[in-house]
Chains A and B, each alone.
Chain A
């Protein structure tokens, strides 16, 4: 049996419970808990005039009703602005329950606790809230025109004006041989994990302690927030993320009102209380992402090389800014992609609207940035009559330019310096994989079948694994079990498997002996969270360092027992042995036993560590100065800056010119996330990301009406792809290890989704010969575009007679 599992497609260890229905998700916990439900605002913008609960009091099973009036101290204050930033000049957050004003449909106004969820909803139905409606702001353009204000004291609706520049863009544009300017839009989608959010809280009155389970991506920070808001000592609060049914970003924001209100009720009622978010709640009271208006001016030379880029974006942040301006910063800084931009200026105005808050959704601003940059590349190629791949190639950062400094500041406050990559390599592989050079033949063949075929591509660079840090704990028990823990959480990424692979490889133990725990503050109290494709980079490296610490200690102890030099020892398959000397060995579990000098023997193994079991040195204490009992080690990984993964996608679409239905017939991915811990899992992440990318390009959109009512708050009308809508995906890999961390890895979680909108827009434009400047696009919208005499024809269409015209 090998323990060298780094890089192997090891089958997932978490699956054993998940495939037999033994997972433990939030709503599986506390079957006898009281249930919470919320009265939520039916209006997008209104003053709360009155809350009348009289009609609800007679409902059998009602336990408690809470309104803002019941909140005191820190709970009566606004929710935290999690990530303050100097350019976020007008941050606003909501309250755990509305304090006199509601700013989006779905904002919680009243919490009801009852014997079960059915009854709790009955009570909600009978509570009468009187509202005075206020003018509503929906969409970036309405926010920008500022006819009405979301927050009265912010009349221009601008929460932040994020600005970065790498030089003087105006003279650079003026000096450019060519310039072009355009405006484009991208719409709202959402993470939409299959499991909504949820919170379960249990108060132990005798112990004055609180245990909270939350379907979260950040259990340590939820814990800190609960302790602060409910004025509890941190050591009396434990927060556990159980099995989490998907996150994709929405569960990184915290504390959600429910994460505070449910514990508050549990303490007040001295009872277990649980809230399991239902699907409608998830639509109207969690978070969305992606709506932006992008105004772009680019300067370029005759070869298509960019000379200057000026980007002005209006970003819809919804009603509040609890997550700061992370998404705008990520758009601004990741927009640059794999390209050399001699001068770059970006301004992102983050604006308030009376809609659900905007916090990161897989990609977190990157899909928008990629859409801006890649569509710019397409426009340059079109204007010059050049191949779109060639224009990209001419602008790429070359492999000998690393580390490459963009002179920008990333979302972690650190410089955007690309650590490593081979972008021409990506492009070459992509062209081969998708058959880029054969596109015209494919187009002709499709035309014979009466279809319009188009090919598009998009490249990206993704900053992954941002700090500040993560930690790992590795402990070998006397039984031989190896316990591994890290503070960040899991939502299906296979952390139990990949972290075990890392420990097996580093420590030389069978993976069967390793047990991994994530997201449980009882086991590891210091952590940041699972977001930004950071778990493998951050906790992976921290755990590797912890395992190396254990290994070093094990060798030291074993060397002492075996009376050899630690340098002559190795650990193989859980046994410490002298290299090249069969028989001179001791099992790691025995090392663990003797690492902890005992007075009391509680089992056979422990006897070996008791004080009379073996001779010791009379002039040394049993535990050496500076040492500690036990075979364990805690270590942390804190990177100097993010590591930058990269990739390139291409899509081939076929369009029926009678019905304008769009079919993605081929989707190709070339992916580089440095060294890969588990290729099976990385490929699964790519598959899932691409499905969300296709969904975001062709199907998913949050449709608000002018009154701020979400028109499609159900799975019937918010069109997440089924299997029938996801194309087959061809994947090729490239590995340029990161020089920034010991394992040489970069993040992989978000990559698959980033270029989908850009690549598919490019392919549709190529197929129909009309400019695609608003995504996602549906058949009815494509029909509108094609029959509109004013819609812009591409230059390629004009050059290519016979196709692209209206059928």
Chain B
């Protein structure tokens, strides 16, 4: 289990990174935290011709929290985001989901944006990007552009970004007013990829009734999806809404797969249970915020 040969560059600027990705061609790959990539290299399941290590590129390691949302740079480690109080205030889902990412030693090196660019449907942060309706910023030889999450994830471990490109940041919009969130997972062992995870956002109206419910799941489906569960509970008082109905609705909307750890049916069961449980918690938080 040793990586196949490759070439290596560690550019000092983003421009250099783009340039070397261009000159090295289609076999070149960006290396950020490497916590997903290195195992693939060692198992020889991936064999890039060149690794372009962006860890020396300045300016990519910041978390910027504003009223609009949180911008997470490509070199922000999971643990940094987990402990970023300002980010947690603007969008609490970030810390809540990140706490479920692997174990601390992995979180010390792995990056949030790297997880997103890896596009693993078992990754927590892909789901959170979708749930918050976020986007990524991509630098290419032709300039910098943003790609909405919906257009970014095209398949398991596959994004719409091809050719010489660096995902430089991810943007997670702020939590709307009168809203609460929750995130929960069932994993076989603590720190494992989830058998099923659920993140939810509940938004109330001025009368503390349910106005909107959104949910997104981990390890369910081939790409992240957001499901609108509002219809199941819309207009109901948030402290007594029929969250089980929302869970039941969610079960009908998802299309999970079977693997060695869980059947599709079991995942669907968990979607219902976790949806209901997270909605109860999210509604309570939303209510707390409106007092």
In the complex, A421 Cα to B2 Cα: how many Å?
52
Asked if A122 meets B188 with Cβ closer than 8 Å, knowing A659-B270, A711-B260, A780-B261, the reply is: no
Interface size grouping (class) on chain A: 20 to 34
Say whether A1 faces chain B, with CB atoms less than 8 Å apart: no
Hey, which chain B residues are within 8 Å of A295, CB to CB? none
Contacts of A711 in B (CB 8 A): 260
Tell me, in angstroms, the Cα distance from A121 to B3 when the chains sit together.
Answer: 9
Asked if A125 is at the interface of the complex by the 8 Å CB criterion, the answer is yes
What's the minimum C-beta distance from A704 to chain B, rounded to whole angstroms? 10
Judge if A231 is at the interface, Cβ distance under 8 Å: no
Indicate if A565 sits at the interface (CB-CB under 8 A). Answer: no
Q: A703-B260, A783-B266, A784-B263 are in contact. Are A725 and B190 (CB under 8 A)?
A: yes
Q: For the complex, is B67 an interface residue (Cβ under 8 Å from A)?
A: no
- Closest chain-A Cβ to B48's Cβ sits at a distance in Å of 15
The interface residues of chain A lying within 8 Å CB-to-CB of B269 are 659, 783
Contact yes or no, A658 B273, CB < 8 A: yes
A778 to B263, CA, bound (A): 11
Complexed CA–CA distance, A607 and B265 (Å):
84
Cβ 8 A contact of B1, one of A125, A279, A721, A725: A279
Interface residues of A (CB under 8 A from B): 117-118, 121-122, 125, 278-280, 658-661, 699, 703, 711-712, 714, 716-717, 719, 721-722, 724-725, 778-780, 783-784
Interface of B is mostly: loop
Which residues does B use to contact A, with CB under 8 Å?
1-5, 43-44, 186, 188-193, 195, 260-263, 265-266, 269-270, 273
Please name the residue on chain B nearest to A720 by beta carbon: B189
Shortest CB distance B142–A (Å): 36
B34 → chain A, closest Cβ, in Å? Answer: 16
Determine which of B3, B191, B270, B273 lies in contact with A724 in the assembled complex, contact meaning CB atoms within 8 Å: B191
By DSSP majority rule, is chain A's interface helix, strand, loop, or mixed? loop
* Complex Cα–Cα for A659 and B185 (A): 11
CB-based contact A716/B193 at 8 Å: yes
**Complex: chain B residue closest to A718, CB-CB:** B260
Inter-chain contacts of B3 with A (CB < 8 A):
118
> Is B265 a contact partner of A783 (Cβ separation < 8 A)?
yes
List chain B residues, Cβ under 8 A from A117. Answer: 2
* Contact indicator B4/A125 (Cβ below 8 Å): yes
Contact B44 A125, beta carbon cutoff 8 Å: yes
Q: Is the CB of B189 within 8 A of A699?
A: yes
A352 to chain B, nearest CB (A): 24
Residues of B within 8 A of A122 (CB): 4-5
A687, chain B: closest CB distance, angstroms? 18
CB of A722 within 8 A of CB of B190, answer: yes
- Cα of A658 to Cα of B44 in the assembled complex, Å: 40
Contact across chains for B189 and A724 when beta carbons are under 8 A apart? yes
State the CA gap A776–B71 with chains docked (Å): 45
Question: How long is the Cα–Cα vector from A149 to B190 in the complex, in angstroms?
Answer: 41
Please tell me which one of the listed residues B1, B263, B273 contacts residue A659 in the complex, with CB atoms under 8 A apart: B273
CB contacts (< 8 Å) of B4 on chain A: these are 121-122, 125
Chain A contacts for B189, CB-based, 8 A: 699, 719, 721-722, 724-725
Least CB distance, B176 to chain A, in whole angstroms: 29
Find B266's partner among A719, A724, A780 (CB 8 Å cutoff). A780
Q: Are B186 and A661 in contact (CB under 8 A)?
A: yes
| Least distance between B280 CB and chain A CB atoms (Å) | 13
User: Does the CB pair A278–B188 fall under 8 Å?
Assistant: no
Please, how many angstroms separate the alpha-carbon atoms of A722 and B43 in the complex? 23
Contact A699 B188 (CB under 8 A): yes
> In the bound complex, do residue A121 and residue B2 qualify as a contact, i.e. CB atoms below 8 Å apart?
yes
